[in-house]
Chains A and B, each alone.
Chain A
Amino acid sequence: MTTPDKQTNTTNRRNFLGQSAALAAGITLAPGVTLYGVAQAKAPEDAVTAKVRWGMLIDANRCADGCNDCVSACNSENGLKGHGRPETDAQWIRKVNLRDPNTGAKQSLPVLCQHCSEPPCVDVCPTGASFKRKDGIVLVDKHICIGCRYCMMACPYKARSFIHETVTDQKPHAPRGKGTVESCTFCVHRVDAGGQPACVEACSKTSAALTFGDMNDPKSNISKALAEYPSSRIRADLGTDPGVRYRGL
């Protein structure tokens, strides 16, 4: 057996350091494709903690007018079906078109549950059905929701829907039933498994206007983007501190 020379040792060490750096930044699936956020995935038996705060950054400049990919991805992921009644059909994410009356400039952007850190819907809920998870995701516990719709009135973002019709063929990960209120869950079943919401995934294939991640982790893409450019909260004056931020609004 030969003793490895000094040169070989140095190369190995260099390779090792290089690989470690790659692991720290994320896992490279293929050249140019890197999977970030693996470190955030929790084990199924672990409870969520307040160390994480999930958030979404929406770049209104990138959001294309007429593109509805986020909405259709949400509908198919969560099994939302319309009844041809837009006033009452469930809507977890919607596209809003804005126009500045002075300049005529137009903008198109999605609005969804803002996952506030001070959610008014939770404040008003008489049964405790509307609640905020420790990681900042605001949900409706439909087991105890009595369908009073007080939360719908309290929400300044018009983010919640009431289910008027009997629902059949629900998705196993998205239970929905008549007589309860519902809203965007940030695709909590995906997030708990270390994934991204369906709208973010769909948008990444086209305009990449949506960024999702942990706002408490300074290394996450969303934290870096929020630190680099100015962003705004809708109705920041209300002090709800939304987890959904907008850029270019």
Chain B
Amino acid sequence: MRWMRTLLANGTTAQAALLVALFAAGLALGLTVQTAEAAENSRVYVPKPPKGKGDKCMEDTKFMRANHMNLLKHQRDETMHNGIRTKKHSLKECVACHTVPGNDGQAVSYEDPKNFCRQCHDYAAVKLDCFECHASKPPKGQAKIHPNAKNAYRVSGGLPQ
């Protein structure tokens, strides 16, 4: 900090105060950038599942993160035993909306790590049972992919192997 002391000795008090303020601001800015970069380039894998093709989900994101399994389980029993086939909370509709394109532009199945469900399930190490029986992608030619979905897929520090 010798340069600052020299400046302080040579300049007026007002000039010095301005310089110190600028330095502090620069330091703060630098730190912010550094933090953002750290998150972006961290070696830790952070899931960021792509957006669905619709404008918004049936429920808000926070609720869905915590409760999607309960909604699906409830709906599965209603459909299986009572023949209730409403689209809200139906796995078929989840799959139809949350399609992720593979390298060929077609929707990927759950065997591909890019699959919407797998991104978080891989991260949390929770087994994904639904798709051992259920179709994990819409039938060929029926998949509609949200234009934003293509670039929304991001992997920080590589996928877990």
Q: Give Cα A171–Cα B133 distance, bound, in whole angstroms.
A: 10
Let me know if A169 and B84 touch, CB within 8 A: no
Interchain CB contact (< 8 A) of B133 among A131, A133, A169, A176: A176
Please tell me the size bucket of the interface on B.
Answer: 20 to 34
Q: Give Cα A167–Cα B82 distance, bound, in whole angstroms.
A: 26
A135 in contact (CB, < 8 A): yes
Per-position binary interface string of chain A over residues 166-206, scored 1 when its CB falls under 8 Å from any chain B CB and 0 otherwise: 11111111011110100000001100110000000000000
Interchain CB contact (< 8 A) of B83 among A135, A141, A142, A171: A135
Let me know if A44 and B132 touch, CB within 8 A: no
Given A167-B133, A170-B135, A172-B134, residue A141 in contact with residue B80 (CB < 8 A): yes
Q: Give Cα A46–Cα B82 distance, bound, in whole angstroms.
A: 8
For window 30-54 of chain A, which residues contact chain B by CB distance below 8 Å? Answer: 42, 44-48
A58 in contact (CB, < 8 A): no
Q: Give Cα A171–Cα B137 distance, bound, in whole angstroms.
A: 9
Given A143-B76, A172-B95, residue A177 in contact with residue B83 (CB < 8 A): no
Interchain nearest-CB distance for B41 vs A (Å): 36
Given A142-B133, A177-B132, A178-B132, residue A172 in contact with residue B84 (CB < 8 A): no
Given A131-B81, A139-B80, A172-B138, residue A44 in contact with residue B87 (CB < 8 A): yes
Instruction: Identify the closest chain B residue to A46 (Cβ).
Output: B84
Q: What A residues does B95 contact at CB under 8 A?
A: 172
Number of interface residues of A (CB under 8 A): 31
Interchain CB contact (< 8 A) of B134 among A48, A175, A180: A175
Q: Give Cα A153–Cα B95 distance, bound, in whole angstroms.
A: 36
Q: Which of B81, B92, B95 has the most CB of A within 10 A?
A: B81
Per-position binary interface string of chain B over residues 51-94, scored 1 when its CB falls under 8 Å from any chain A CB and 0 otherwise: 00000000000000000000000001010111111110000100
Let me know if B134 and A170 touch, CB within 8 A: yes
Interchain nearest-CB distance for A33 vs B (Å): 27
Q: Give Cα A167–Cα B132 distance, bound, in whole angstroms.
A: 7
For window 29-68 of chain B, which residues contact chain A by CB distance below 8 Å? Answer: none
B11 in contact (CB, < 8 A): no
Per-position binary interface string of chain A over residues 15-28, scored 1 when its CB falls under 8 Å from any chain B CB and 0 otherwise: 00000000000000
Let me know if A47 and B84 touch, CB within 8 A: yes
Let me know if B132 and A42 touch, CB within 8 A: no
Per-position binary interface string of chain B over residues 18-32, scored 1 when its CB falls under 8 Å from any chain A CB and 0 otherwise: 000000000000000
Let me know if B139 and A48 touch, CB within 8 A: no
Q: What A residues does B139 contact at CB under 8 A?
A: 171-172
Q: Give Cα A173–Cα B87 distance, bound, in whole angstroms.
A: 13
Let me know if B133 and A175 touch, CB within 8 A: yes
Let me know if B80 and A143 touch, CB within 8 A: yes
Interchain nearest-CB distance for B83 vs A (Å): 4
Q: What A residues does B82 contact at CB under 8 A?
A: 47-48, 133-134
Q: Which of A135, A180, A192 has the most CB of B within 10 A?
A: A192
Per-position binary interface string of chain B over residues 100-139, scored 1 when its CB falls under 8 Å from any chain A CB and 0 otherwise: 0000000001010000000000000000000011110011
Q: Which residues of A contact B (CB under 8 A)?
A: 42, 44-48, 131, 133-135, 139, 141-143, 166-173, 175-178, 180, 188-189, 192-193
Q: What would 14 A/B residue contacts be, using CB atoms closer than 8 Å?
A: A44-B86, A45-B86, A46-B84, A47-B83, A133-B82, A139-B80, A141-B81, A143-B76, A168-B109, A168-B111, A169-B135, A172-B134, A178-B132, A192-B83
Q: Which residues of B contact A (CB under 8 A)?
A: 76, 78, 80-87, 92, 95, 109, 111, 132-135, 138-139
